[in-house]
Amino acid sequence: MNRLALGTVQFGLSYGVTNTEGQVSEVSVQEILQEASQHGIDMLDTAAAYGESEVVLSKQIATNQFELVSKTRPLSSMKGKLDQVEKALNQSLDRLALHRPLYGMLIHHADDLLGPQGDDIWKLLQEKKQQGRICKIGVSVYSAQELDLICQRYAIDLVQLPHNVLDQRLRISGHLQTLQDNCIEIHVRSAFLQGLLLLQDIAALPVHLQELKPALARFQQRAGELGCSTLALALGYLRQQTAIDRVLVGVVNPQQLTEIIVAWTEAASLPLHCADDLAIDTEHLLNPAKWSLLKVSQ
């Protein structure tokens, strides 16, 4: 299971368009971490911007069993002051390092690294790496354009990017292969498109996302043809992308994690390329950051 990593945004916020349970309780967090550890999942992904997530994790003794990846606070939230960036970074490291280097620290917003203070932020992270507080420096991106600009300017170790059975753009463009060829570690988020891929009744789609119905219907039909669950097919597509190092999954209870672990194992038997033709290329549907704009336009 060491290609799976556990996302923790739900530990600090009520997150996800299909999340009806809200923020995960600290008791449930402990149970989820125990379940993950028992099945060989050894990495947690968090961020300073994920509400109380870092604080919650810092209270969990079980966190010591995991490698940790976190993300910087957005520069915009600190009025562009580098000293505040360093202060926030140190707070994250103090909370999460747990007497060892943090596995990875990502720039949460690529624009911070591409802006006028990008070189200063990069230098600051390099200093933390040289001090032994961080093992890998990376960035979270939303598009191929952001990724290209970052890689032209900085020798990143790690990138987190969106990818799923509907959003295959970075595979089709060759970016996943190029990243692998350059020994840049790839972590994938949005594996289930904020849970939309796992909706049993696509008629329940929010009004502003109705355009996704045909793609979701094709996806569900393919799972039926293959005799597998939609969960297994969503994971199976990602499992077949050998360039991907980690697939981030978020859960709100231990049962959901167990289902994912079972489906990940089942997905190994799916035919190669069985979902490659399910891709769509519609930015406003594939990028959850655009969904609020769709909602307003309704």
Q: Sketch the domain layout of the chain as residue ranges.
A: 4-297
Closest CA to 65 of 89, 90, 46, 39: 39
Q: What was the pLDDT predicted at 86?
A: 83
How many residues belong to the chain?
298
Confidence tier at 97 by pLDDT (50, 70, 90):
low
Yes or no: say if 288 and 17 are a contact pair by the CB < 8 Å rule: yes
Token pair in block for residue 148:
């290209």
Residue 78, pLDDT above cutoff 70: no
Residue 192, pLDDT above cutoff 50: yes
Yes or no: say if 48 and 38 are a contact pair by the CB < 8 Å rule: no
Closest CA to 40 of 68, 11, 65: 65
Please give the DSSP secondary-structure letter assigned to residue 260.
Answer: H
Q: Using CA atoms, how far apart are residues 190 and 196, in angstroms rounded to an integer?
A: 10
In this structure, which topology does domain 4-297 adopt according to CATH? TIM Barrel (3.20.20)
Ramachandran class of 14: left when φ > 0, alpha when ψ lies in -120 to 50, beta otherwise: beta
CA atoms within 13 A on the CB side of 284: 10
Summary mean pLDDT of the chain = 90
Instruction: State whether residue 228 is helix, strand or coil.
Output: coil
Q: For the residues 246-261, what does the mean pLDDT come to?
A: 96
Q: For the residues 211-235, what does the mean pLDDT come to?
A: 97
Side chain identity at 41, as an amino acid letter? I
Yes or no: say if 133 and 101 are a contact pair by the CB < 8 Å rule: yes
Backbone torsions φ then ψ of 157, nearest 5 degrees:
-95, -25
**Greatest mean pLDDT range, 24-33, 151-160, 196-205, 289-298:** 151-160
Segment (H or E) for 6: strand 4-7
Residue 82 or residue 159, greater confidence? 159
Confidence tier at 80 by pLDDT (50, 70, 90):
low
Q: Using CA atoms, how far apart are residues 223 and 237, in angstroms rounded to an integer?
A: 11
Residues 6+ apart with CB under 8 A from 204: none
Q: For the residues 111-132, what does the mean pLDDT come to?
A: 93
Yes or no: say if 164 and 193 are a contact pair by the CB < 8 Å rule: yes
Confidence tier at 18 by pLDDT (50, 70, 90):
very low
